[in-house]
Structure 1
Amino acid sequence: MNLPRLVSLACLCVACGVGLRATDVGTPRAELLQADEAFCTLAAHDGVRAAFLAYAAPDCIFLDTQPFALRGSAAVTARFREWKDGKLTWKPAFAEVEPHGKLGYTWGTWLYEATSAGAETKRATGKYVTIWKRQPDGSWKYVLDTGVTDPLAAAVNAAPHQ
């Protein structure tokens, strides 16, 4: 299945309310959702950089990091070099794992909040997709993480306030 069809299918599943079912407990899909949730919990507790380093596969990449050829911890370091302090949280809405249980993806929504010295809070929201690979030790690590800002929220935040 090609990527556009896969993304369309994932969007349809979320729109129809497809989520984790009781029968999914203990499955690779449930494990993957738990990994994504634990990743977010670590980011809230230890910081975004630390969480992205802890959950990075040795061959992970980011689509918005230059040079694009960077992999693993070098890619994470480059991606978060200019990271401003702030709180980044996310919530997976959907997960899927291929039949062999070695590769999967999650996607959901994210929220970034940062308060400046003037006590003004900046917020941004969006959607993300994370591609995960099961590691030799059985854990899930991401190989690609990317996201987009919610265009409506960005337009509202950019508009002059009266």
Structure 2
Amino acid sequence: MNGRLPQRFASVMLPGLAVYALALLSSGCNKPASVASPDHSADLVRLTQMDADWVKAAQTHSVDAWMAFYAPNAVVLPPNEKTADTPAEIRAAIGELMATKDLAIDWKATKTVVSDAGDMAWIYGTYTLEGKDAAGVPISDNGKMAEVWQKQGDGAWKCVLDTWSSDLPVLVPDKK
């Protein structure tokens, strides 16, 4: 034999093996009917409330109140700025935002999702921001935001990734 199946077996075995392999592969793609998805409704309620509390904290203009929602290993991706991936860099970025004159900030979650394992979650939604720049010129922005939350060892949820970006078109200086 040369390592190949004899022709008479190949015509019978190969279709059978293909059906078996397809059944095996497709069974791995679906959860068995007896395994229910975990119920994370309490986590969804908790995260929704925490995000609403975070908005209230931001509206106090307190950097410390804002920072309380971040995990020690958090990363912040502010728009038009470098990544802030240390507590000091995050504090500086949030401090700069909080220093905006007449700042009015708000965001609303559109969707909250908890992972099947129950240890990670993400929230996305929209934000609005108004204030005045350093020269006193009014600014107004609106856009989208996304947060990734991780359940800590003590069961508390903390944000590990925070980002937001404007829906407004980028201003391009006139070329004269």
Measured against aligned partners, the alpha-carbon deviations of 1:104-159 in whole angstroms (never above 9, x if no partner) come to 0001110111146998642100000000111222221110101110135x67xx9x
Identical pairs, percent: 27
Contact kept, 8 Å, 1:112 with 1:123, in 2: the verdict is yes
Q: Work out whether 1:114 is the aligned partner of 2:131.
A: yes
Alpha-carbon distance in 1 for matches of 2:95, 2:56: 21
**TM-score under structure 1 length normalisation:** 0.67
Give 2:61's aligned residue: 47
SS in 2 for 1:37: helix
Please, which of 31, 49, 62 is the counterpart of residue 46 of structure 2? 31
**TM-score under structure 2 length normalisation:** 0.62
Contact kept, 8 Å, 1:104 with 1:131, in 2: the verdict is yes
Alpha-carbon distance in 2 for matches of 1:55, 1:116: 26
Contact kept, 8 Å, 1:40 with 1:51, in 2: the verdict is no
User: 1:118/1:56 Cα in 2 relative to 1: closer, same or farther (>3 Å)?
Assistant: closer
Alpha-carbon distance in 1 for matches of 2:53, 2:95: 23
The two structures, once aligned, show a CA RMSD in angstroms of: 3.1
Q: Work out whether 1:62 is the aligned partner of 2:76.
A: yes
Alpha-carbon distance in 2 for matches of 1:52, 1:121: 24
Give 2:114's aligned residue: 97
Alpha-carbon distance in 1 for matches of 2:108, 2:58: 12
User: Max radius of gyration: which structure?
Assistant: 2
Pairs within 5 Å for 1:120-159: 121-151=138-168
Give ranges in structure 1 of 5+ residues lacking alignment: 1-23
Measured against aligned partners, the alpha-carbon deviations of 1:21-67 in whole angstroms (never above 9, x if no partner) come to xxx895212211111111111111x315233311010100123464x
Moved beyond 6 Å, runs of 4+: 116-119
Equivalenced residue count is 131
